[in-house]
Amino acid sequence: MSQKLVLIGGGHAHAIALRQWGLSPLSDVDLTLISDVEQTPYSGMLPGLVAGFYNYHETHIDLRSLARFAGAEFICDRANGIDPDNNQIICTSGQLTFDYLSLDIGSIPQTLTIPGAKEYIIPAKPVPVFLDAWYKLNHLAAAHPEQPLSIAIVGGGAGGVELALNMQTCLKAILNGKSIPEMHLIHRGKQLLPGHNNWVSNKLTKIIQQRGIKLHLQQDVTEVLAEQIICQSGLKIAASNIFWVTQATAPSWIKESHLKTDAHGFILVADTLQSISHPHIFAAGDIATMVNYQRPKAGVFAVRQGQPLFNNWQNILTQQPLQSYTPQDKYLALIGTGDQKAIASWDSLGWRSALFWRLKDYIDRKFMNQFVNLNIQ
């Protein structure tokens, strides 16, 4: 009787592992991919997509085609919960069973219990929700370029800073001098990009200010209204579009499933990428936290997990010993500044150059080229 391996989510690690499965499949395994989208975004290219440097298809992986290449059944549905003890997945359209399960569903911005946030903000994730709102804003700006446009971005990490700079690039091109978008970047910390070195933080602060983006540091948002942000300090910021790029958290159904999680709801996994409470369940990418290696929720780690995840799927299915995975200590971050230049951040070092943008573009295109013109076997 065939074993059932079910994947939920089309994140970077799953995409790589599915491609590897297509190259080296196992017989007598029923492989299924569940995703609520057919096109999954590659996070590394999203700022460039926002700026207009890439088009939609250059930045998205076709999951249906990838599943076909891997010999997997593709189910376009939303997973809303799992019962790990009875090996059941609860989807919007019904239930599925599994022998082994793997999750790579990413993360969502943390809104906590801020009044009005759910009603009025546009979260950066899930990406399809964000892009839908972004394209509507683009169309509105193009149709009425003379109308005042105000945008607030909450979150001063790399994601929020990149989003602010690349949004401005796109909107300036659309408005073509007929009006100037008013932009605000709000961050609760003392400095931008707290996970990076001081040179990178200071350089990006200077660029943000030079571009005319109003920077509000040490501001805690306490309420969101239809077109206004209210901060604990009493500061009120008028904005017709409010984007949320704060600390990552997990969808609530993960913790409700009784898998062991960390304080933010991410699945705790061993070095083998297995859940520490339910070893027949794997997790990778942002949704997973490695117990022995605390790392940032960054795409580079999800990409690196793809191969060991694939290896351990096959190992567990063939009753072979599973392999431990050790993530790298440091990683090169390439942060686009919206002008086809990028800042390279490595440990205590940083530099800005058009060469780094070209390097980033090369790396990103090389990654995406793996999923183009797959030969269906």
Q: What is the CATH number of the domain that holds 195?
A: 3.50.50.60
pLDDT band for position 375 (50/70/90)? low
Neighbouring CB atoms inside 10 A of 201's CB total 21
Residue 125 is assigned to a structural domain of this protein: yes
- Do 213 and 309 sit in the same domain of this protein? no
Considering only 142-151, 275-284, 367-376, which range has the smallest mean pLDDT?
367-376
**Is the pLDDT confidence value at 377 over 50?**
no
The CATH number of residue 257's host domain is 3.50.50.100
pLDDT higher than threshold 80 for residue 325: yes
Mean of all residue pLDDT scores within the chain: 95
Range of the domain at 139: 117-244
- Flag whether 376 is in a domain: no
pTM: 0.94
67 domain-assigned? yes
One domain for residues 231 and 322: no
Burial of 249 (0-12, 13-18, 19+ CB in 10 A): buried
Tokens standing for 104?
Answer: 């790579």
207 and 89 fall within a common domain: no
Give yes or no: residues 276 and 362 share one domain.
Answer: yes
Lowest mean pLDDT among 56-60, 107-111, 248-252, 276-280: 107-111
Q: Which residue has the tokens 């009025």?
A: 120
- For residue 149, tell me if it sits in a domain: yes
Q: Are residues 158 and 142 in the same domain?
A: yes
Which of residues 214, 244, 274 is at a domain's end? 244
Whether residues 49 and 121 share a domain: the answer is: no
Shared-domain flag, residues 181 and 101? no
Indicate the residue among 212, 244, 276 that finishes a domain.
Answer: 244
Residue-wise pLDDT for 169-217, tens only, equals 999 999 998 999 999 999 999 999 998 999 999 999 999 999 999 999 9
233 and 266 in a single domain? The answer is: no
Q: Are 343 and 259 part of one and the same domain?
A: yes
Tell me, what amino acid is at 308? P
Asked if residue 23 and residue 130 are part of one domain, the reply reads: no
> Is 377 inside a domain boundary?
no
d(C-alpha 143, C-alpha 147), whole Å: 9
29 occurs within a structural domain: yes
Give how far Cα 312 sits from Cα of 81, 104, 365, Å: 24, 15, 27
Whether residues 133 and 223 share a domain: the answer is: yes
Q: Is residue 112 part of a domain?
A: no
Domain boundary among 218, 244, 270: 244
> What distance in Å separates the CA atoms of residue 151 and residue 343, rounded to the nearest whole number?
24
Asked if the model's pLDDT at residue 108 lies above 60, the reply is yes
Instruction: Give per-residue burial for 8-47: e unless 16+ CB within 10 Å, then b.
Output: bbbbbbbbbbbbbbbeeeeeebebbbbbbeebbbbbbbbb
Does a structural domain hold residue 375?
A: no
For the segment 30-55, the average pLDDT, to the nearest whole number, is 97
Residues 354 and 259 in one domain: yes
Per the structure, the count of domains in the chain is 2
